[in-house]
Chain A
């Protein structure tokens, strides 16, 4: 094995498969409850900081500097952006009380993030009291992507967000669209009523009851920004990966898991998606036998249209073969 993966990235990896087959479903559950895995556990908090914190925040700033369209707040979403910032601050302070605190001095809030040496005093709702607009300010302090959905006329609309680590979609293209429109291209889910049911569920979310779900794919390279905008940079990897040797294949192909937290913002009434992306190379997956066996089974059984939509139809068979071979290696 060539690559060294920090141990916390394995022990807190949200391995997403409860069984040997995978289909889309309205797979939501109450948040903030730990899930045991074969290598550790994940999911105690709504936000999660790990050893990639500094690197991923730097990556987000770099993406944003190259392409400012990754941050958009439609004018009516200003209250939601403030609400999101304060909600995330409270979650951070709750999860990391040693490093993060949110206090109040009279009418002003005081936010401290000791990991980044930040201390800011601000007045809620007054943009001039923050060094950057609220979503940008807090987006520079969490590894999660943020999408804010306005609820109106019986639907949800993605009207604000800071999304730098999109998995094969474009936030700039989707902003302003309805939840149903955004999920238009996903195969199978519409006939099954999954998206309509998910929207209905989201519209009834209550502020004190965050939920979560996972989503997954495969990505070539430890690359967070696989957005539509940068397709020319990463698209060719999907065919190039077929030409590399087995060691390189196991090091380069990553299981990509999103933990999405679904939070009703208490004051604006908007719905917040926090999308945290985890990447673990197949070679690290193979070190945990139940994960290796389960991922092999899921990939082998996955219907063509789903593997195609998820973007790895070209190297799915190779991944299955690679995972199968690892058992023989150990004998």
Chain B
């Protein structure tokens, strides 16, 4: 798989817990363009994490990501916070899972906390192409990241909230006032996105007009332990809570093709010959999930105590 070796060229603090890293090729040549809302998968010490790209998307000379430090996570965000200019980070090419809809009449962008990062990228695109956009940004007092850039990109159409009640009132009003053909994009904590989606659905927004970026700062539930019987290698591995089946297989020396490690890209699909998977990915179609004969081993686990796979 292609990876990019990127040098940290600048560091700044977007808020108390959010550090913005600028990454470039050692020779500063062009990096691949990306679709607004794309993420970059970074190998960050103890883990592999995905971060939304927030900078210019067309043949950029650098990529910019903003990293919220999560003291309770696997340590990837802290590792990134410790990088210094001149350090190198391995990145996988940008992946688009949250694109703006080209034919939208209007873009309603709703951000919660660090979920502002892909929203910033969407807003940049809207400004470039002269698309109508409106932004609602909910954050805790004093820790709103990227406020200045948002104000520059959306003069007059940005509203920020530090109180939940005020945000919900404004959300309700905004959802009810958008013209037909508006698309809604939301990124933030799961509960935040659920509230926004519920609000939109209650007001009759069609499902196809509502877009969410589902992997943000929230880690998946660590899950219960289960055993994986490797039919061909005649071994059994245990997947502990908080560890993925993919990680467990890799530790056993069994390589599995993978890319995003977040249940989106479809690379790490493996067949299941016995037991019932607990699907937690965003890749498999409903009928494929129902068949229970394969799973995305980066995020999915088991409903049964044991899964058997032909590896």
Interface residues of A (CB under 8 A from B): 76-80, 83, 86, 104, 124-125, 150-154, 159, 204, 206-208, 266-270
Contacts and interface: CB of A to CB of B under 8 A. Distances in A.
B2 interface: yes
20 contacts: A77-B102, A80-B102, A104-B59, A124-B58, A150-B103, A152-B102, A152-B208, A159-B103, A206-B95, A207-B33, A207-B96, A208-B32, A266-B34, A266-B35, A267-B33, A267-B34, A267-B36, A269-B96, A269-B100, A269-B102
A268 B35 contact: yes
Given A207-B32, A208-B93, A269 B99 contact: yes
Contact of B102 (A76, A154, A206): A76
Given A79-B129, A208-B2, A269-B35, A152 B59 contact: no
Given A208-B32, A266-B34, 20 more contacts: A76-B104, A78-B129, A79-B129, A86-B33, A86-B59, A104-B59, A151-B99, A152-B101, A206-B93, A206-B95, A207-B34, A207-B93, A207-B96, A208-B2, A266-B35, A267-B34, A267-B58, A269-B96, A269-B99, A270-B102
B57 interface: yes
A207 B95 CA distance: 8
Contacts of A270: 102
Nearest to A270: B102
Interface residues of B, number: 24
A125 B129 contact: yes
Contacts of B104: 76
A-B CB proximity, top 9 nearest: A266-B33, A76-B103, A269-B35, A269-B99, A153-B208, A76-B102, A267-B33, A208-B93, A267-B58
B128 interface: yes
A268 B59 contact: no
Nearest to A160: B102
Nearest to A77: B102
B266 interface: yes
A268 B58 CA distance: 10
A76 B35 CA distance: 15
Contacts of A153: 208
A80 B129 CA distance: 11
A125 B130 CA distance: 10
Contacts of A104: 59
A83 B35 CA distance: 10
Contacts of A208: 2, 32, 93
A206 B39 CA distance: 13
A154 B266 CA distance: 17
Nearest to B209: A153
User: Which of A83, A206, A267 has the most C-beta atoms of chain B within 10 angstroms of its own C-beta?
Assistant: A267
A79 B102 contact: yes
User: Which of A77, A152, A159 has the most C-beta atoms of chain B within 10 angstroms of its own C-beta?
Assistant: A152
User: Which of B2, B102, B129 has the most C-beta atoms of chain A within 10 angstroms of its own C-beta?
Assistant: B102
B209 to A, nearest CB: 9
B94 interface: yes
A77 B104 CA distance: 11
Contacts of B101: 152
B64 to A, nearest CB: 16
A268 B34 contact: no
Interface in B76-109: 93-96, 99-104
Contacts of B96: 207, 269
Interface in B151-192: none
A153 B208 CA distance: 6
A81 to B, nearest CB: 11
Given A150-B103, A208-B32, A267 B94 contact: no
Contacts of A80: 102
User: Which of A83, A104, A269 has the most C-beta atoms of chain B within 10 angstroms of its own C-beta?
Assistant: A269
Interface in B176-214: 208
Nearest to B103: A76
A269 B36 CA distance: 9
A206 B260 CA distance: 13
A104 B31 CA distance: 14
B32 A266 contact: yes
Contacts of A269: 35, 96, 99-100, 102
A268 B128 CA distance: 12
B275 to A, nearest CB: 27
Contacts of A150: 102-103
B102 A268 contact: yes
A330 to B, nearest CB: 49
A78 B266 CA distance: 30
A78 B125 CA distance: 13
Contacts of B34: 207, 266-267
A267 B129 contact: no
A125 B131 CA distance: 13
B93 A267 contact: no
Interface in B98-125: 99-104, 125
A154 B36 CA distance: 19
Interface in B251-270: 266
A47 to B, nearest CB: 18
A325 B269 CA distance: 52
Contacts of A151: 99
